[in-house]
Amino acid sequence: MKEKLYQVWRALVWTFDPSDRTEAGKAITRNFWLHWFPPRMTKASLSWSYSLWLGTISTSLFLILAVTGIILMFLYVPSVERAYQSIKDLEYAVSFGWILRNMHRWSAHMMVAAVFLHMVRVFYTGAYKNGMSHMARREINWLVGIILLLLTLLLSFSGYLLPWDQLAIWAVTVGTQIAKSVPIIGDEIYFVLAGGTNLDQNALIRFYTLHVIFLPVLTLILISYHMWRVRKDEGLAITEQFNIARKKGEAVQPEMVFSSPWAVRRIFLVFMGTLTWILFLSVFLDSPLEEPASLEWTPNPAKAPWYFLWLQELITITTIRIGEITINGGFVGGVLIPGIITTLLAVWAFIDKSPAEATGVWFHKSRLVQNIVFTILALIIVGMIFFAMYFRGPYWEVYWPWAWPELPEII
């Protein structure tokens, strides 16, 4: 009996844990979930220190969000009359509802950070360049990565409104006002997002639909294409170093390993590590929930979600008044400058003239100037987020974090 059970078990899992080279060679082609990996990979591409496995961490967080989000859909009511109470029930009436909500929220925040760091890693290693490969189109995957970063931000932002508390409605109010500042079409963008002139039931339904259907499906499609593109581009850019060495006549033979079990085991370890970290945060850090949403009184200060705080700070900096003339910071800081930054990032993969040997190398000396400029830009954005989060107090004035003035209570 035990032998039969073992045979059934091996029939189910042998592709994930092959017992010999023959099974390892067949594992990828026989498994639906693994078929987008090549049968063999260079051992160097699986190094922990090269990619930091940030792409796998991002995908793991998306999977956690999908699972917890589907469960939350059975417990959440997208109605302005009942949304807040359904979140309260999650916190206090539903068994383990609090940890389910915490996992979903912290996974969303961590995914924003992980996708951003993943793109930073790609830039520093020049992994968007094709190197010596004439068949690779890594610059296309760089564009897909930028779109995935924007979708990640929109996914988190669209979910921000759903608790329908003061924190949610005013954070979304600030964010939608930034969209409203776009010249000519700003009012139309706001109307499409809000479903009217105010944030009410129409806005909640639209944000809910975007959050649970449109944005997740589009993100899943692009993640799948992103992974497929990596395989078609002959794996991670670090493999280009072996092609370049051979072109130079150097006797370099990369060490190859079977994707199963080498890559499979590491993916499993990364997923379990990510899940453990999210559970740790969820147990010890509760998701915030303030008073029920009300547009009759405004929190002071009203802040956007943390990943949009740099835009809010940029709008403040670029709003300039000279006599009766006012420069619209909402357009300059909220639309123009972020648009220029995004456009530069998108085209950089096509105009970067660094040599082929810089592909897949951390901080290659030929890319020193562009890496310094990129680092300064990234630090400015992170610095503005930190400054707006801790040093912007009532009336959006600057205070020490421990010295905010006390405001009279609103009754």
Instruction: Give yes or no for residue 255 having a pLDDT over 90.
Output: no
pLDDT of residue 326: 67
Q: Per the domain annotation, does 395 fall within a domain?
A: no
Placement of tokens 């006549």 in the chain: 249
- pLDDT confidence tier of residue 36, bands split at 50, 70 and 90: confident
d(CA 50, CA 47) in angstroms, rounded, equals 6
User: Token match 């339904």: residue?
Assistant: 205
Q: Determine the average pLDDT of the residues in 317-329.
A: 76
- 7-21, 33-47, 59-73: which has the highest mean pLDDT? 59-73
Only one residue has tokens 């990234």, namely 378
Residues whose CB is less than 8 angstroms from the CB of residue 304 and which lie 6 or more positions away in sequence, other chains included: 171, 174, 175, 178, 311, 312
* pLDDT, average across residues 330-340: 88
Asked, for residue 22, whether it belongs to a domain, the answer is: no
User: Strands, E, within 90-232: which ranges?
Assistant: none
Using the predicted structure, report yes or no on whether residue 411 has a pLDDT greater than 50: no
Q: pLDDT class for 300, splitting at 50, 70, 90?
A: confident
Q: Is residue 135 part of a domain?
A: yes
Q: Which domain holds residue 102?
A: 40-304
- Tell me whether residue 67 is in a domain: yes
Predicted TM-score (pTM) of the model is: 0.93
Query: Residue 242: which CATH number?
Result: 1.20.810.10
pLDDT digits (tens, 9 = 90+) for 130-146: 877 777 889 999 999 99
* Residue 270 counted as domain residue: yes
> Has residue 231 got a pLDDT over 90?
no
pLDDT at 192 over 80: yes
Domain count for the chain = 1
- Asked, for residue 11, whether it belongs to a domain, the answer is no
| Across 258-264, average pLDDT | 92
Residue 236 lies in a domain: yes
pLDDT of residue 330: 78
Answer whether residue 387 is part of any domain.
Answer: no
Looking at the predicted structure, is the pLDDT value of residue 187 above 80?
yes
CA angle 344, 347, 351 (to 5 degrees): 110
Using CA atoms in the order 133, 137, 143, 144, what is the torsion angle rounded to 10 degrees? -110
Percent of the chain exceeding pLDDT 90 equals 59
CB distance 239 to 40 below 8 Å: no
Alpha carbon distance 141, 356 (integer Å): 18
**Mean pLDDT, residues 189-216 taken together:** 91
- C-alpha 204, offset from chain centre: 23
Helix, strand or coil for residue 170? helix
Q: Please report the DSSP string for 74-91 in residue order.
A: TT----TTTHHHHHHHHH
Annotate 235-304 with DSSP letters as a single string. SSGGGHHHHHHHHTT----PPEEEHHHHHHHHHHHHHHHHHHHHHHHHHHSPPP--SBP-SSS--SS---
